[in-house]
Amino acid sequence: MSIEAVQVTRYFGQAAAVWQLDLSVPSGSVTGLVGPNGAGKTTLLLMLAGLLRPDSGSIRVAGLDPVAQPRQVHQAVGWMPDAFGTWDSLTCSEILETFAVAQDVERSTIMDRVQEMLRTVHLADMASAPARVLSRGQKQRLGLARALVHRPQVLLLDEPASGMDPRSRADLRILLRELAGAGVTVLVSSHILGELEEMVDHVAFVSRGRTVHGAVSGADEAGDAGVETAEGSTGAAGRPRPVRTAWRMRALDGDLLADWLRGSELAGVVEEPGAVRLELADDRAAAQALRQAVEAGVEVMAFGPVTGTLEETYLAMEEERR
């Protein structure tokens, strides 16, 4: 596990923003952090980034303790806050350069790295522009470049897509998937659930300062309280759940599809003639199911994860906006 939080608590005055929270995030994956306003997501991310001390509990990020080893954690982590404050008179290039220096990036490589990062977030044209002229979405992209400039092992993003246009959001999704593929651990909070669903491998729900068991494998589980309440969550609650577990297969011949499903060992239901919904453990299981269906002669014309399950699960959570 690349991020491990055990019984972490943080108070602001009398109010517990995060309370006895458990979270385990696997390495090399993209994990979503989902919860209502005031649930404690930002507070949690700040503690993981070594920018806020927990009152109690233990945290390990890339094997490091943010309380005892803040400097090492800052170097291991890329942090992108929801609102990225820039020094308005510095240029985009100067801002990235400043952060690269602060993060001890090898001096001789800094300018190349800065150019590379500006290209990655499509701001190369703005390299010499002062930050004050950037739009909100462009500032977000610069914030992403800043978080990545020192090649962190762990990337913590708080609402990164807010203010970004559709092209930038799509680029963000692709970039986060690529980073995870290269072994970076990504934890991303977002309220844009449809988008999160497409980019994350797992999701952890936060409610009233605690992680709750978020089953996102489909409407059935979500509907019958697949999400435990904050009070009911213990133990495995901190383990994020895989996201793509409900899949829909459509075929030209509905009877053949239904026969194949009955004869297979797979968990699934016929939703309507020509369409079945399958519960599959992971992407590999999905690929196998598709192969089996095709080999059995089913003329599959569409197959993909059922979207909207994250939102269904979210809405099934006890509403507790603060």
Ligand X SMILES: Nc1ncnc2c1ncn2[C@@H]1O[C@H](COP(=O)(O)OP(=O)(O)OP(=O)(O)O)[C@@H](O)[C@H]1O
Task: Point out which residues bind ligand X (CB under 6 A).
Answer: 12, 17, 35, 37-43, 322
In whole angstroms, what is the distance from residue 314 CA to residue 322 CA? 16
> Given the complex with ligand X, which of 10 and 213 has the nearer CB atom?
10
- Please report which residue ranges of 86-165 form alpha helices under DSSP H: 92-102, 110-120, 136-148
Query: What's at 29, amino acid-wise?
Result: S
The rounded distance, in Å, linking the Cα atoms of 54 and 66 is 10
Residue 314 to residue 308: CA distance in whole angstroms? 10
Task: Name the minimum Å distance from CB 51 to ligand X.
Answer: 12
Q: CB of 190: closest distance to ligand X in angstroms?
A: 9
Answer whether 205's CB lies under 8 Å from 245's CB. Answer: no
* Residue pointed to by tokens 């994860």: 305
For residue 105, the minimal CB distance to ligand X (Å) is 30
Of 196, 243, 147, the closest CA to residue 34 belongs to: 196
Confirm if 76 and 114 have CB atoms less than 8 A apart.
no
Q: How far is the CB of 294 from ligand X (least distance, A)?
A: 43
Toward ligand X, which CB reaches closer, 29 or 42? 42
Four-residue CA torsion sign, 102, 107, 109, 111: positive
Residue 64 CB, shortest distance to ligand X, in Å, is 22
Identity of the residue, 35 or 66, whose beta carbon is nearer to ligand X in the bound complex: 35
- Across the beta sheet with 56-61, what order do the strands follow? 15-25, 3-12, 56-61
CB of 314 to ligand X, least distance (A): 12
Instruction: For the sheet with 275-279, list strands across it.
Output: 267-272, 275-279, 246-251, 300-305
* Shortest spacing between CB 321 and ligand X, in angstroms: 8
**Residue number with CB closer to ligand X (41 or 210):** 41
If the CB atoms of residues 12 and 87 are measured against ligand X, the closer one turns out to be 12
Select 167 or 322, whichever has its Cβ closest to ligand X. Answer: 322
CB nearer to ligand X: pick between 51 and 296: 51
